[in-house]
Structure 1
């Protein structure tokens, strides 16, 4: 068994690691304003930069989960943090659109192994009734980062510039890698080999996970909710500057309220999800997706920036709940032996959305001469798709996989 002290140390480091990864990810959404100007890029090229990370991130989800199940969560975590730190630093040395796309792609490859392996580590070290809470603590760092990034990005970009900023972020990541190496260790009585199938058995389990209907629904739900999340995260800074007329400092302050909402939502969601009766997750999740669709419509029709941010804050509450609910379903419904693989498959949907959506929005905005209306309608449609995928979840199929494992 893992002691409470050991669990808390692991969770603290996962929290820090996820925070640094999210900062690196979110910072590009603000830095791209300066990068676009320096490299003289159009909206489609900007979309390519924002999407290139997600191409690598999505590509690594399934291999990252499989490697975590096969080689152990600790090894994959350390390599993941090290690799993304190196390519974060290299982002500050780009000289062209092509070099930026390539470096951000490999940054995505590096970060792609973190969530599947961290999810597996949580499933190994926390009891079932604490896993959603543990996941909410880790993911809440994303909310804290989203609160800090707007203001800190504005300061960094207007003082030291985007190139030096990326070099500093990469150096911080190297320090975090060393901390993972020293402190993330499973006790001797918890052999990872005992928690995963081997050989032909593992290959058979992978095929079962891939073919299980619950995974198809989760894949679609992940894609839909992350399309909304990353569509907003990647393009809202540009939208608020170019369409709503904010400057960088005002933008930073305007985005602190949604950031606070995400932190609150993550902590509250973990508490609520751990106490939901089995089978009720999909109903509550579907209702949340309906609320997201309605709020998105109100948001892009808001008559003022104040109302826009108010609706954005509320929509963040519901998006955060669904984004925590989906991995919690995997942690609670599927065996630890396949958590990495299962999370990798499902999260591939989310990260494909992260790749496609920013690129699609860039194309839409350029096609409609700077109008974002069609882009917002696309996000509303994804809210509807997410609702349907959750309502049609078949938990019995997940229980069959549990029994077979």
Structure 2
């Protein structure tokens, strides 16, 4: 009897030692890490493309097709990815996706030509497709309503941060290992390990996590009450498109992603080929360009929250910030055509990316327009619209560069037009009106 009591007390003490106050913020930090890894793997091909293009004798137009191929399957996986998250729950989807795309990333180092490279990129899009849905779904279980705006902006900021660190990591691995093929294997192995960690750390129900305190579990139990259904909502998300604001959101996000994917896929090649920067320095400049985007995203999220808390209207804040961001992108990117030094050109691209990533605010817009039960569907439509741009733009950039003999002048004009589309469409959205029947 006494032995059993000692054993029970020992188990209680062991469990107590495992409790982690503020566990939700540790989980939140892990989701930022997932997004960083997501974009490291997504951008790795763009960073290594100058070397891959030489090894496999790939033209600019074909390069554009290869860089676009990820988006073909990634966009198609948005709706089924959301269904998988609802059906299988985030823990299974996120961990399986990470392990799957880590394996594909590693196998990319064995490609022997354009066809196999396109195939690997399409498979990468399949596995990465559900991850952001899974992370966002899990965040709604781990963060209360008043914490999610800050949380979603920071998690989305993992995108430019991952691309920035990806520039350093992939470049460093290639220089250290002596070949891009082994570098892909190393990055793939890292991703698989993060996938295993996801299975260990994640729980679909926070209350079931072995490390959560009773106080935090009770705190998170209130989420279900906060996220109740809106009985005055439309019967389906399609009805929201009777109004102009959802259409403007799709156009704005299309313009935003046109520049985002353009820079994500082609900025390293521009720095290397047009500005004649060494491969090692290309990684450093890639870090600067996308690091500026991360700073821009944090700045816009904090500024928007502060202005709204100070009493400014949501419409005034969102229209001003997103409209100004689009114009800032257009002006900075078009000026690249008028400077003569690599440093000036790359700093202007960094400035454009700083303004561009203010568009992280778009992720908060569906919740402002739609009822709770339709936010995910409107977010999916928005993300699908952006990924259509992600499919088209890399090919268009490759075609323009090939037709112009290697010049990016026309490319930056296209990006400036996309920035203006982002600005005009953003100003036309009514952010203060919840659309209900």
TM surpasses 0.5 = yes
1:254 and 2:273 correspond: no
Q: Distance in 1 between matches of 2:374 and 2:201?
A: 24
Q: Distance in 1 between matches of 2:271 and 2:288?
A: 15
108-117 or 358-367, larger mean C-alpha shift? 108-117
Structure 2 partner of 1:87: 104
Structure 2 partner of 1:118: 135
- The structure number with the bigger radius of gyration is 2
1:187 and 2:222 correspond: no
1:224 and 2:263 correspond: no
Pairwise mapping of residues 231-380 of structure 1 onto structure 2 (< 5 A)? 231-275=262-306, 276=308, 277-280=313-316, 281-322=318-359, 324-380=360-416
Q: Could you say if the C-alpha distance between residues 78 and 155 of structure 1 is closer, same or farther in structure 2, counting changes exceeding 3 Å? A: closer
The question of whether the paired residues in 2 share the 8 Å contact of 1:80 and 1:114 is answered with yes
After superposition, what is the alpha-carbon deviation per residue over 1:339-367, rounded to whole angstroms, capped at 9, x for unaligned?
43222211112222111111110011111
328-337 or 90-99, larger mean C-alpha shift? 328-337
- The offset of 1:248, in angstroms, is 0.7
Q: Distance in 2 between matches of 1:369 and 1:27?
A: 25
- The offset of 1:94, in angstroms, is 1.5
206-215 or 169-178, larger mean C-alpha shift? 206-215
Structure 2 partner of 1:58: 75
- TM-score (structure 1 length as normaliser): 0.88
- The offset of 1:14, in angstroms, is 0.6
Q: Distance in 1 between matches of 2:429 and 2:298?
A: 25
Q: 2:190 aligns with which of 172, 181, 193?
A: 172
Q: Could you say if the C-alpha distance between residues 187 and 255 of structure 1 is closer, same or farther in structure 2, counting changes exceeding 3 Å? A: closer
The question of whether the paired residues in 2 share the 8 Å contact of 1:210 and 1:345 is answered with no
Q: Distance in 2 between matches of 1:267 and 1:32?
A: 29
After superposition, what is the alpha-carbon deviation per residue over 1:259-298, rounded to whole angstroms, capped at 9, x for unaligned?
4322322322222233333223123201210111011111
Q: Distance in 2 between matches of 1:79 and 1:336?
A: 28
- The offset of 1:371, in angstroms, is 1.6
Gaps of 5+ in 2: 1-19, 208-216
Segments of 4+ in structure 1 off by > 4 A? 188-197, 209-213
Q: Distance in 2 between matches of 1:53 and 1:118?
A: 20
- The offset of 1:62, in angstroms, is 2.5
Which secondary structure state, in structure 2, belongs to the residue aligned with residue 92 of structure 1? helix
Aligned-residue Cα RMSD (Å) equals 2.8
Gaps of 5+ in 1: none
- TM-score (structure 2 length as normaliser): 0.82
Q: 1:29 aligns with which of 28, 31, 46?
A: 46
- The offset of 1:212, in angstroms, is 5.8
RCO higher in structure (CA 8 A, sep ≥6): 1
The question of whether the paired residues in 1 share the 8 Å contact of 2:81 and 2:133 is answered with yes
